[in-house]
Structure 1
Amino acid sequence: MKISVLGCGRWGSFIAWYLASKKGYDVYSWGPEEDYSYQVLKSTGKNEYVALDPRITLTCDLEQAVGHADIVIISISSQGVRGFIDKIKAFNVSDKTFVLCMKGIEVETGERLSEILVEKGISKDKIAVWVGPGHIQDFTAGIPNCMVIDSHNVELKKFLADNFKSDLIRFYYGNDIVGTEIGAAAKNVMGIAAGVLDGGGVSTLKGPLMSRGAREVARLIKAMGGNELSAYGLAHLGDYETTLFSRHSHNRMYGEMLVKGEKFQKLAEGVMTAAAMKKLGEKYNVELPITDAVYEVCFHDKAMDGSCMDMILKLFSRDTKFEF
């Protein structure tokens, strides 16, 4: 089985390392030549997370990486997927399987990432998503976790999960790609809210955030035609510890720094996902109060005027209602 991982940032470099060192596959790891992550790996053979395994071939030649692979794993910024697929489609990809490892929703369209690939002419039976809890720092320290692979194609997700599993990652077969993708993306929004609570000194409120956040996402998943129980699976609720509590979480740290009036320099996917989810809530007529509050603090400079915490705490002044 020939595998290429497109994107050599923190998650892409980990996946290449995992499949090479833990599973023994020969893996091509691609990044654009001008990209900082690629240059670090090229010049030092490692980054702050992993070292290049001898089975990994590092390349900046996209055609070479795509042509090598039976399975193309994509790990880039979720908002860049549409344009990136256009570049890939310049090559013959009719026999390729695509695995998406990003957690996001396209902000302009509200489309799930797998929907974008289908829209670009890739068969939905050739597409899978790989999501769920786990930080690279923990995995590389030997701490195991559980993740999920989902697809419209039952045989494909079983094949990938069975061939990618190890004593480091236990995979489950997903059974609701709508819920899996929406849940995985939405947990980053909840991560920002958790960071605001941490930065504001009210971390105990993360318990209610976990419960009500999952209910909020479940309502959206159901309205979109998915199974609302997916919000309580690995892709969403199962990823909460990693996102709402870990010092490694970019989204949690973004929220914590935001409420303190500081700027987070790395990628926090939950920012654009909040904007995308807000649009989806309006489209499907679903109340998303936590999402709306996160959107306000991210896009309306609430940190600058000192009302960042007020937006989150305003959730507690909502009308009393039955929990379920």
Structure 2
Amino acid sequence: MDISVLGCGRWGTFLAWYANKIGHNVMLWGRENSRNFIGLQETRKNDYLTLSKDIELSMSLEKAISYAEMIIISISAQELRSFAKQLSRLSKMQRKTFILCMKGLEASSGKRLSQVFGEEIGKTANIAVWVGPGHVQDFVNDIPNCMVIGSENIEVTKKIVQELNSDLIRFYYGQDLIGNEIGAAAKNVMGIAAGMLDGLNNSSLKGSLMARGTREISRLVRAMGGNDVTVYGLSHLGDFEATLFSDSHNRKFGQGFIQGERFEKLAEGVSTVTALKELSTHYDIQLPICNAVYEIIFNNNDPKETLKDLFLRPVKFEF
């Protein structure tokens, strides 16, 4: 199958590498002024992998869309709406399958990324999400993991899994798009919280963070019409090891924030916590951990006192 990957950051470049590795023809698109793309053009390498010469590099969106039936998108979540508007003006968009490989929510509206993309593209294309745990550096060293593909059409989900499944990544069918998207996005906020605990030398509280964080996100998913059990699967709880106990961008952002160090790379959880604040109000659901992270980042609340108050709340029943 011909597959295009739009976005040549760490994850997008890996996705192109992976699709090629399992036997597909691949085109990787990047912006003309992208430092990542320029580097790939010059050396076909980044910090994690080397691209096969079989993978075609292109700066033309029109060409990338025309090339493939299945199109994988890996860009910043907050850029998705404007990017989708750009795509919607192109020809040959009908009957394409778009797979969104980002974990976030639109900060200004709280909308899920499949909603954002669908509003701009329309109903002529299939939209799916690809979420779950995984480190590029593990995959390129043949260390396997499990991930999730989800869409509103189970036949689309099955088709994608059939084309992308391998011994390196075992896919599960996502049955709850709301739960998968909210869970995948919210785990980045939990990652920031974990980094803050690390920065305060309270890493032992990360077990409590996992348990209570999963619980509060499950309540939100249920209120939004999703299945609260989904949050205990791969998209959220299953992704915690790759976020809360690693060098993930969100955990490093949280730790750096506490220690007064500026973190230069993208931490999607910062925008996501704004979206979750919006959803908390809209659905009248308490999200104490998300709210604490928001107050620390945006309202300069004292991290030590805020997190202490959060985890050492008055005695109450656990469930």
Kindly report which structure 2 residues correspond to 1:232-271, keeping only aligned pairs within 5 A, or say none. Answer: 232-247=232-247, 249-271=248-270
Residue aligning to 2:188 = 188
Residue aligning to 1:60 = 59
Amino acid at match of 1:271: V
Aligned partners of 2:283 and 2:205: how far apart in 1?
28
Does the 8 Å CA contact 2:77/2:102 hold for their aligned counterparts?
Answer: yes
Residue aligning to 1:309 = 304
**2:319 matched to 1:320?**
no
Amino acid at match of 1:236: H
Q: Note the residue ranges of structure 1 that are not aligned, 5 or more in a row.
A: none
Aligned partners of 2:122 and 2:11: how far apart in 1?
24
Residue aligning to 1:36 = 35
Does the 8 Å CA contact 2:27/2:56 hold for their aligned counterparts?
Answer: yes
Amino acid at match of 2:177: I
Does the 8 Å CA contact 2:107/2:274 hold for their aligned counterparts?
Answer: yes
**1:292-321 alpha-carbon deviations (Å, 9 max, x no partner):** 01111222244xxxx222222220342322
Does the 8 Å CA contact 1:124/1:153 hold for their aligned counterparts?
Answer: no
Aligned partners of 2:125 and 2:72: how far apart in 1?
15
Return the offset for 1:124: 8.2
Residue aligning to 2:142 = 142
Give the TM-score of the pair, scaled to structure 2.
0.97
Give secondary structure in 1 for the equivalent of 2:150. strand
Does the 8 Å CA contact 2:84/2:121 hold for their aligned counterparts?
Answer: no
Q: Note the residue ranges of structure 2 that are not aligned, 5 or more in a row.
A: none
What is the RMSD of the two structures over their aligned residues, measured on CA atoms? 1.2
Aligned partners of 2:231 and 2:125: how far apart in 1?
23
Aligned partners of 1:26 and 1:121: how far apart in 2?
25
Residue aligning to 1:122 = 122
Kindly report which structure 2 residues correspond to 1:94-133, keeping only aligned pairs within 5 A, or say none. Answer: 94-123=94-123, 126-133=126-133
Shifted more, 100-109 versus 48-57: the winner is: 48-57
Aligned partners of 1:161 and 1:125: how far apart in 2?
17
Aligned partners of 2:311 and 2:190: how far apart in 1?
16
Q: Which runs of 4+ in 1 moved over 6 A?
A: none
Residue aligning to 1:24 = 23
> How many residues are treated as equivalent by the alignment?
318
Aligned partners of 2:90 and 2:75: how far apart in 1?
19
Residue aligning to 1:159 = 159
Does the 8 Å CA contact 2:96/2:125 hold for their aligned counterparts?
Answer: no
Aligned partners of 2:37 and 2:294: how far apart in 1?
32
**1:236-282 alpha-carbon deviations (Å, 9 max, x no partner):** 000000000012x0000000111101111100000000010011001
Return the offset for 1:50: 1.4
Amino acid at match of 2:182: I
Aligned partners of 1:315 and 1:239: how far apart in 2?
23
Aligned partners of 1:124 and 1:188: how far apart in 2?
31
Does the 8 Å CA contact 1:125/1:153 hold for their aligned counterparts?
Answer: no
Return the offset for 1:125: 6.8
Return the offset for 1:197: 0.7
Aligned partners of 2:123 and 2:86: how far apart in 1?
17
Give secondary structure in 1 for the equivalent of 2:5. strand
Amino acid at match of 1:25: H
Aligned partners of 2:250 and 2:62: how far apart in 1?
33
Return the offset for 1:54: 2.2
Give the TM-score of the pair, scaled to structure 1.
0.96
**1:59-96 alpha-carbon deviations (Å, 9 max, x no partner):** 11111111111011100000000000011111120121
Aligned partners of 1:156 and 1:69: how far apart in 2?
16
Return the offset for 1:224: 0.4
Kindly report which structure 2 residues correspond to 1:276-315, keeping only aligned pairs within 5 A, or say none. Answer: 276-302=275-301, 307-315=302-310
Aligned partners of 1:319 and 1:164: how far apart in 2?
48
